[in-house]
Structure 1
Amino acid sequence: MPPTLAETESDGEEDRVETRNFDISMRMGTRYVAVAILFTVNLLNYMDRYTIAGVLQQVQAFYKIGNTEAGYLQAIFIVGYMLFSPVFGVLGDRFNRKYLMVGGIFFWSCITLASSFVPSESFWLLVLLRGLVGVGEASYSTIAPTIISDMFTQSQRSMALMAFYFAIPVGAGLGYIVGAEVAKAAHHWYWALRVTPGLGVICCLLILFVLKEPPRGMAEHATLTHSTGLRSILTDLNSLVRNKSFMLNTFGFVCVAFVTGALALFAPSFVYDGYKALDLHPGSATISLDFGFVTCGAGVIGILCGGALAYVVKKKHAGGDALVCALGLSSSSIFLFFAIFSLTYTVYVTWIFIFVGMTLVCMNWSLSADILLYTVVPTRRSTAEAFMNFVGHLLGDAGSPYLLGFLSDHLKAEYKLTSFVSMQYSLYTCCVVAMLGGCLYIICSFYIPSDRAKADAIAHGAEEERVSSQLTNNYEGLPEADDAPLL
């Protein structure tokens, strides 16, 4: 039998009491510890993801594969990540998020360790295992940002997300660095894959025994704190598809994922080939190390600059986050073009262009996540993260490594080009996609005010249909977002 009105009101009051009590218990710095733990796991996540790229040439030599097959390693990882993101997104809106994350982290740690024992004649087993690593990582990436969202609101949330997303470039850079240096010290590339599994187990223990999971919508004092169950999945998806800000932000993320996925896998080997074309021979490990430091520095500066610039722009335009994303992504296409082009003549100028281009791309990470969180109601955020990950990776970095690898091999065979020139032509594709992403974020900025107002109203108990009709009348009667400091 469906619950009576009295039962529904009683449940709602219990939820409000639980949320208020939990909020009070987290005022003494607990939430900052939670962000630190989630940052650490995200750092490990991206270290693991880019370790293969740091030793790619050794992997290619070990398995005797070309760029097309090498592209499979990144593509299959993203496919596994992409396909299981919706599963964990739906579960994350309905069940205990700590246990879901722990299960996923432990699974990916075990699979990463197993993949370091694949013999040279079993390349396709390595491909399969990399796909399973993506399955494990999907459990974490779709859920962790929603926990941060439930602990902070408004400017505090933006700062917490900036801290969380520092892990992407820093982790990616460490993946290159640790992968190259460990492989060099141990005299074999597969030792690079044996670093993160032990750290993953430590992260599982931290989540289980230290992290406190907040009620959904706690920071916003939301009255809508529980999903309506598995049968509400179609309702959630229908609402997300009709959310213009969310959909445009998602397709902008597709372009970011396309560019970063292609560059992450092929940029170090492309730069190495450029060195050889100029009769310079620093060694592939040195290139990976340099690329790792560039990635770390560009990421930290990019995220900081993106957050600071968005803070200023939002004072004049409610869609400031999207406008800064547009500026960063479209500007990066210019610097990436000159980075790819200039390597024919000089390596020193190329490194400058790579650094600036990657800095501009990294301006998007925390801002794009923040747009999702404040334009979607609390009980749909894990599903929204999963949807964004699925679409973003399906159309972005699930295909871009394979596409560029295939295009490079085709140009090399068809026109008798060198590996360097064929990859150079292929990488120009990233510049076009980055410019397209900038245009999508500009359009997104115009829809953010209304979609954010709608999400705030629904989170505080308004009916979705009534809110939609009120939005056509200049948002009369809609509650304002709560911007009071929580600490």
Structure 2
Amino acid sequence: MSTAETQKGLFKDVNLYIIFGVTLTSVMGVSSIAPAFPSIARSLDVTTDQIGLLITFFTLPGIFFTPIFGILADRYNRKVILIPSLFLFGIAGTACAFATSFDQLLLFRAFQGVGSAALGVLNLTLIGDLYSGNQRASVMGYNGSVLSIGTAMYPAIGGALAILGWNYPFFLTLIAIPVGLFALFFLDQKIEKNGLGINLYLKEIKSALMSKMVLGLFIGMFLTFIILYGGYITFFTILLDEKFEKSSLAIGIILSGSSLVTAVTSAQLGRLTKRFSEKNLISAAAILYTVIFLMIPMVENIWYFTLPIALFGVAQGMNIPSILNLLTGYAPKEYRAAFLSVNWMVMRIGQALGPYVLGLVYLYLSLDGTFYVTAIAGALFVVNSLTLIRTGKRKADLTTS
């Protein structure tokens, strides 16, 4: 069968569209409401240093529930976890739109975070379950494109909805309900029950996770999400509002521009990896992060942000797919969901800590200080990525000796 025929067959597969729906839902929780942060702060009488709690309360449940959901998805089946998660995400997210106080909003965000905890793990796990060989590679590429399109569109859509009112972006989460219904009735169950005893199962996971390479990749992912959700999504948004007095729509469009660059860069990843290793691409991205956040406090004209925003999109497009590609190689099918759930948990910790820690920097130092601290996180990422390269070289030397 030709490549064109294979791709044509894929696009007739209902499972593919359900996976895309899960992916689009999994990235909605923060990017769609970020442009509304200044409006939410004003409407609910919240200080700027506290608004990052909307991300923290959403991401914290994932730290605790994601590994549990991953184990259950391996031990039983994916739908048992996936469908209730989608319904909870949609219901709790919509409830946020009706919150009458910031405390109530944080409570609903926490419930929404529980619903979100398994989504980013199970979309990748389902790809591994349902596809193999070249098909799997194709689906991974398509899914990456869908994710980038979602992260590009949501800030602009959320910003436009926020013009109507701070709560309107939360209604986007209703999309999770029809996705859950489609998954309930149409998602294929090509999954063999894990036959490993629970003690052996946990031992195998622990052994795989203790690899120096895997630990280094987890550290890289953690620092990436500190930078993304702390320095960029939260405090760059606040900078655009406070210093440049941009509307929620304008903020959304600016954030979308970066995501579009990420989508274009991700689409070229196959070509890039023919010339450079994933570890070298990760290192280049880490250097870019550091330079970008050193630049941001110095910008006085809004149009000069074109360069750092474009560079941030390039860094994201090289970095996250490269880390996920390397981690996927360490995820055997017997415990794929649990393995990937640890990565998701690491991401959630970064999401939760980034806005909180930088909120303290904002409170006790300054807005500019949040970007310099983010640059320090980028510098730590540079050190970590260089360590990954050295680890890979040592392993290669041992293999050839």
Question: Which residue pairs with 2:91 in the alignment?
Answer: 110
Alpha-carbon distance in structure 2 between the residues aligned to 1:90 and 1:258: 26
**CA 1:449/1:378 → structure 2, altered by over 3 Å: closer, same or farther?**
farther
Alpha-carbon distance in structure 2 between the residues aligned to 1:367 and 1:230: 31
Question: Which residue pairs with 2:292 in the alignment?
Answer: 335
Q: Does structure 1 residue 256 correspond to structure 2 residue 256? A: no
Question: 1:398, CA displacement in angstroms?
Answer: 1.1
Question: 1:306, CA displacement in angstroms?
Answer: 3.3
- Which of 101, 122, 128 aligns to 2:82? It is 101
Question: 1:38, CA displacement in angstroms?
Answer: 1.4
Tell me how many residue pairs correspond in the alignment: 394
Larger RCO (CA under 8 A, 6+ residues apart): 2
Question: Which residue pairs with 1:348 in the alignment?
Answer: 303
Query: Structure 1, unaligned stretches of length 5 or more?
Result: 1-25, 217-224, 277-282, 314-319, 412-421, 454-470, 476-487
Q: Residue type matched to 1:312 in 2?
A: R
Percent of counterpart pairs with the same letter? 19
**CA 1:312/1:36 → structure 2, altered by over 3 Å: closer, same or farther?**
farther
- Which of 192, 196, 200 aligns to 2:173? It is 196
Question: Which residue pairs with 2:200 in the alignment?
Answer: 232
Alignment of structure 1 residues 65-104 onto 2, 5 Å:
65-104=46-85
Query: Aligned-pair RMSD on alpha carbons?
Result: 2.8
Alignment of structure 1 residues 200-219 onto 2, 5 Å:
200-215=176-191
Alignment of structure 1 residues 252-401 onto 2, 5 Å:
252-262=220-230, 263-276=232-245, 283-313=246-276, 320-338=277-295, 340-343=296-299, 345-394=300-349, 396-401=350-355
Conserved in 1, the CA contact under 8 Å of 2:331 and 2:340? no
SS of 1:189's equivalent in the other structure is coil
- Which of 357, 363, 378 aligns to 1:409? It is 363
Conserved in 1, the CA contact under 8 Å of 2:22 and 2:179? yes
Question: Which residue pairs with 2:212 in the alignment?
Answer: 244
SS of 2:189's equivalent in the other structure is coil
Conserved in 2, the CA contact under 8 Å of 1:330 and 1:435? yes
Judging by fraction of residues, say which structure has more helix.
2
Alpha-carbon distance in structure 2 between the residues aligned to 1:168 and 1:329: 21
Conserved in 2, the CA contact under 8 Å of 1:53 and 1:265? yes
Alignment of structure 1 residues 44-55 onto 2, 5 Å:
44-55=25-36
Alpha-carbon distance in structure 2 between the residues aligned to 1:332 and 1:359: 10
1:92-131 deviation per Cα after TM superposition (whole angstroms, max 9, x unaligned)? 2112112311110111101011111111xx3112112111
Conserved in 2, the CA contact under 8 Å of 1:333 and 1:435? yes
Question: Which residue pairs with 2:45 in the alignment?
Answer: 64
SS of 2:98's equivalent in the other structure is coil
Question: 1:367, CA displacement in angstroms?
Answer: 2.0
TM-score by length of 1: 0.74
Q: Residue type matched to 1:126 in 2?
A: L
Alpha-carbon distance in structure 2 between the residues aligned to 1:441 and 1:297: 25
Conserved in 2, the CA contact under 8 Å of 1:86 and 1:390? yes
My pick for the range that moved more, 150-159 or 93-102, is 150-159
Question: 1:155, CA displacement in angstroms?
Answer: 6.0
Question: 1:261, CA displacement in angstroms?
Answer: 0.9
TM-score by length of 2: 0.89
SS of 2:82's equivalent in the other structure is helix
Question: 1:288, CA displacement in angstroms?
Answer: 2.0
Conserved in 2, the CA contact under 8 Å of 1:306 and 1:324? no
> Max radius of gyration: which structure?
1
Alpha-carbon distance in structure 1 between the residues aligned to 2:333 and 2:392: 17
**CA 1:437/1:153 → structure 2, altered by over 3 Å: closer, same or farther?**
farther
Alpha-carbon distance in structure 1 between the residues aligned to 2:220 and 2:135: 24
